[in-house]
Chain A
């Protein structure tokens, strides 16, 4: 068998599609870390809540899919703002590890709350889309949509941060938390806006994931770790690094899964992550 066959190409292209999704997944977390210097360990659980919100509104209350998704994004954005206001703010001055840990409590709570509300059964949105075939290769339509939306989301976030007044203020405060308040920027307000934005991006990721995967209360644990690792690999808080890392990870998973088994794809990606940490602890694109 020649090595460079059409199925390998398919795996590579699927990796690119997955990369877009992973990029969006990690973007919100990365933004929050870059600006507020806090890792939301419960980030994947926020996405899980978003998935349930879309499911509840569309399947149980009969809203149109797009309206349910818009509402889902809003729900998670509000949740992000609340998380910051009531849970992160009281520990902002505490040791950094406490800020990481407090969101771990939220992780348990959200997982349990979802179990209480929806049970442990797998829920599906029930939106069926047929795969797209190009030659002998076939790609799932939700993945292509996810890729497109993810690229759009990343671009919109970039434009927001660089072209708007508030975005500029957010970037400024992430560079110097002490000086910016003297220039009239209100850190409390900017942090809440950033958290809402991070939550909104988590909500957007939820809308794309819900098209591809069934929902259950522990789903956050399955893609949470990879989201953190992408952010760290790219250099925590470095948005461009996060993008590059997402595509690298996706290739490992997709191509590794093609040659071996899907779990081995993940194992290779994680081992690669650990190795890179030793080589460049600040991340592949992180500055010193």
Chain B
């Protein structure tokens, strides 16, 4: 994408809250950006053949670290976020080093990470005296009459403030995605995902390359957990950890397109808009059809993986390239 176009798009997006859109549409946009951020974080490693079913663990660690430290010890979420990041890195290393050393890949990697996300969820539930268990937890509010912003507690009443915070992180995630995309590590990891032994034989350090993207991805995801907890002001074990949210990340990315920068964000927007679109289309009848959006989503996922393995955005870009006068075939750039 030309730089000018990129700059204009970002500027237009940044001006969005000033256009006077209501609170609810703004909330939807924030959600798109937040999940776009999280999905992008997942895809930093997912697109390179490291399909993790365990990112719920990192999301949960980030979210619970800030809320627990704040509620129980009054530790500012800024420090809490750092604690969450440190724990996430340790967990990523504890899982990553043995997995990559012993060549646990494909199905096995997916299922080992799945176990990790379940362990996180169960630990949160089991520590119910501290975490509130399945009922979830709400960060103690630092806001009061007349106090609408608390930097120390990372709490803002205004959705506009949150919009800019999350926009910044989303842009940061895209930048990281881009840097990784341009790096030697990506080339190394693509070689590894094709043929691990051959890659190792030409001098690629398999374990180190994989650990590098895994740690980036884990840190970014746990920051996502922090943002989610602070924005929603409510977390529970099911929504930030465990198999459900972990699968949601994987499939959001696949729906949008795993191999293009904005693919994960398109996936997040698509999921949210599907639910909202149905809510609008069905109006009052919406309540009679609980989970209809999920049923359509599941069906579409199956169709995508069979017929559109590059996802919505990936397929759209391919179609666009095939039509462009420069005549570059879609397969020119993988």
Chain A interface residues toward B at CB < 8 A: 39, 41, 87, 90-91, 94, 96-98, 100-102, 104-113, 115-116, 119-120, 217-218, 221, 224-225, 228-229, 232, 236, 261, 263-264, 266-267, 270-271, 273-274, 277-278, 281
Contact = CB atoms under 8 A, between A and B. Distances in A.
A278 B102 contact: yes
Interface stretch (B148-156, B183-191, B294-302): B294-302
A270 B115 contact: yes
Contact of B116 (A221, A263, A274, A278): A274
Given A91-B305, A104-B301, A105-B299, 7 more contacts: A101-B51, A109-B299, A116-B290, A236-B107, A263-B123, A281-B102, A281-B103
Nearest to B309: A98
Dominant secondary structure of chain B at its interface with chain A: helix
B218 interface: no
Nearest to A45: B298
Contact of B104 (A225, A236, A281): A281
B247 A277 contact: no
A273 B114 CA distance: 11
B103 A225 contact: no
A229 B126 contact: no
Nearest to B244: A221
Contact of A115 (B104, B112, B294): B294
A267 B115 contact: no
Nearest to B107: A39
B122 interface: yes
Nearest to B104: A281
Contacts of B292: 112, 116
A39 B110 CA distance: 11
Given A105-B305, A264-B126, A229 B115 contact: yes
Given A119-B290, A281-B103, A274 B297 contact: no
Contacts of A94: 309
Contacts, number: 141
A111 B291 contact: yes
B111 A104 contact: no
Nearest to B116: A274
Contacts of B108: 232, 236, 277, 281
Nearest to A105: B301
B251 to A, nearest CB: 6
B115 A225 contact: yes
A106 B302 contact: yes
A270 B250 contact: no
Contacts of A110: 298
Report the contact-size class of chain B (Cβ under 8 Å from the partner).
Answer: 35 or more
A277 B309 CA distance: 30
B302 A267 contact: no
B295 A101 contact: no
Nearest to A44: B243
A105 B126 contact: no
Given A101-B251, A281-B108, A270 B298 contact: no
Contact of B125 (A119, A263, A274): A263
A217 to B, nearest CB: 7
Contacts of A228: 111, 114
A41 B294 CA distance: 17
A281 B102 CA distance: 7
A106 B306 contact: no
B110 A100 contact: yes
Interface string B150-170: 000000000000000000000
Interface string B296-326: 0111111011100100000000000000000
Given A110-B298, A270-B119, A221 B306 contact: no
A226 to B, nearest CB: 8
Contact of A96 (B99, B106, B247, B298): B106
Contacts of A264: 122, 126
A109 B126 contact: no
Nearest to B307: A90
Interface in B76-129: 95, 98-99, 102-104, 106-108, 110-112, 114-116, 118-119, 122-123, 125-126
7 contacts: A41-B247, A97-B106, A101-B254, A105-B301, A112-B291, A218-B244, A281-B102
A110 B304 CA distance: 17
B256 interface: no
Contacts of B304: 105
A107 B304 CA distance: 15
A224 B111 CA distance: 11
